[in-house]
Structure 1
């Protein structure tokens, strides 16, 4: 009942079920062990990326090291792949590839050719950026993979700011420099990171700070209404940030018309003018009188000279002869 003898072998349905169950359990057990081992191996062999700095600053024209470290349990780096990208502050939506290490070859972006390079391959993904420019500012991303390790790459980010001292500002003025007029002083700066602060001061006769009206980030102006002689002087504009200060100057001269003379001074001036007129008339009369006397003298002299020079003819007495 429980079994049949077939060619010397005894079988039963219960034995077959039990044997089948043991086979399935063994298969499942081997699969579970393999899965756990694979998971443990993957976790322990996963590549990890760490950035020693999250934010860096560099002065324009200087060099800066962008750090990117990675760790792995694998001793084989034959398939190491490193990619550095940059999302510029001026255009964050269009990142560029800065430099790539793949199949033991290094490829640089044409815009950074000769200015960027790896410093510690293959044990480090650090890069050195030389002759930094304002266009180098932005968010850098370091992406590292090393197949057949974890399928997801290790990624690290850092922000780079490129600093620049202020450029020489340009000072201008316009308006009416007559007393009672209005004058506007303006000062503009073209470059500087961080954005320079703009100040206006009057230097003489004593240094005085003036309220500045900012027109955007790069221009500061001062409006001076109802100017007077006290407004005249030397004015200075200063553009400053953490890297230094630059100056430009404006010399302002307010024109004051001469004050009208007082009543007493008017009387004195009138008397002086009348005296000068009378004196001139007296001189003229004397001159005319002297001229007339000289004319009469000259006439008499001429007449006398004509009298002396006159030749008188007296007819000779006729001799009479008496016979």
Structure 2
């Protein structure tokens, strides 16, 4: 009898353990991916599957995001609770469940940089385990390099120094920046990084050989963008020749202006003298005419 009682208690204990284990392990959450990447502007499906032995009438699913920009302040992305769906106001129209109530996958479309971070999928289905099953997934939003901005600073005369700078506004992963001289032959130049998104090249003791076309490239796995600078270095002889040409041009202009001034003065005086002589001649003609006009009268009177 005691043996039968012992067997019964053992069976009961086994059933209790199995039932407890079943209750404890009934709900499980699985994330088929731990890290994912998406190009900005595209859509992506974040997978989250679960298994349960209870009816789904009280199923509760919560997706949260801890952004890379502020991981200490997680956001509630979307919630499914007793048949109702609640979306974060900033994500309305861009996020949604794909296969409720059998799965907890969500889709995010028109992805943005702010969508990157650590996502958590939490599933609870009472009366199963009080602690919800949780899965995590890290999402990275990729961004092609923006068009770099090229600039230069320094002296273009031989013997001086020139600094070529290049920067990009964005790019994920961080773009690799490099400088190359393209002509007369292509040469890769050592670059001094001034942060993740900018870099410069310093060229000292420049000469005529420094002249040419320079290119800055910003590259990541999504592509490459370029900007260019054309340097023209002036040697000392070229500078002296330019100064001499400037002096000769100034002298030539001065001589031309002087000659023009003399010509205008001469013409002005010549015009005045001509008018004076013409006036004098007219007076003489008028006097002569008067004399001739009155002479016959005087002769006539003499004969009478």
- Distance in 2 between residues matched to 1:159 and 1:134, nearest whole Å: 13
Aligned to 2:99: 120
Shift of 1:111: 1.2
Counterparts in 2 of 1:152 and 1:182: CA distance versus 1, 3 Å:
same
Secondary structure of residue in 2 paired with 1:258: helix
CA contact (8 A) 2:38 2:44 kept: yes
CA deviation profile, 1:37-58 (whole Å, cap 9, x unmatched): 54144146x2000011111100
- Distance in 2 between residues matched to 1:34 and 1:231, nearest whole Å: 87
- Distance in 1 between residues matched to 2:49 and 2:118, nearest whole Å: 17
1:176 aligns with 2:161: no
Aligned to 2:267: none
Q: CA RMSD in A?
A: 2.3
TM-score (norm 1): 0.69
Q: 4+ runs of 1 displaced by more than 3 Å?
A: 27-38
Aligned to 1:151: 130
Aligned to 1:249: 228
Paired residues, number: 237
Name structure 1 gaps, 5 residues minimum: 1-24, 262-323
Aligned to 1:217: 196
1:233 aligns with 2:212: yes
Larger mean CA deviation between 30-39 and 248-257 belongs to: 30-39
CA deviation profile, 1:66-100 (whole Å, cap 9, x unmatched): 000001122x1000000000001111111000000
- Distance in 2 between residues matched to 1:182 and 1:132, nearest whole Å: 45
**Alignment map for 1:78-227 (pairs within 5 Å):** 78-227=57-206
- Distance in 2 between residues matched to 1:173 and 1:52, nearest whole Å: 50
- Distance in 1 between residues matched to 2:133 and 2:29, nearest whole Å: 5
CA deviation profile, 1:113-153 (whole Å, cap 9, x unmatched): 11000000000000000000000000100000000011111
Shift of 1:32: 4.6
Aligned to 1:42: 23
CA deviation profile, 1:13-40 (whole Å, cap 9, x unmatched): xxxxxxxxxxxx9x98898577435414
TM-score (norm 2): 0.73
CA contact (8 A) 2:24 2:128 kept: no
Secondary structure of residue in 1 paired with 2:103: coil
Aligned to 1:71: 51
CA deviation profile, 1:185-224 (whole Å, cap 9, x unmatched): 0000011000000010111111111000000101110000
Secondary structure of residue in 2 paired with 1:180: coil
Secondary structure of residue in 1 paired with 2:57: coil
Aligned to 1:21: none
- Distance in 2 between residues matched to 1:71 and 1:170, nearest whole Å: 53
Q: Which has the higher helix share?
A: 2
- Distance in 1 between residues matched to 2:16 and 2:197, nearest whole Å: 63
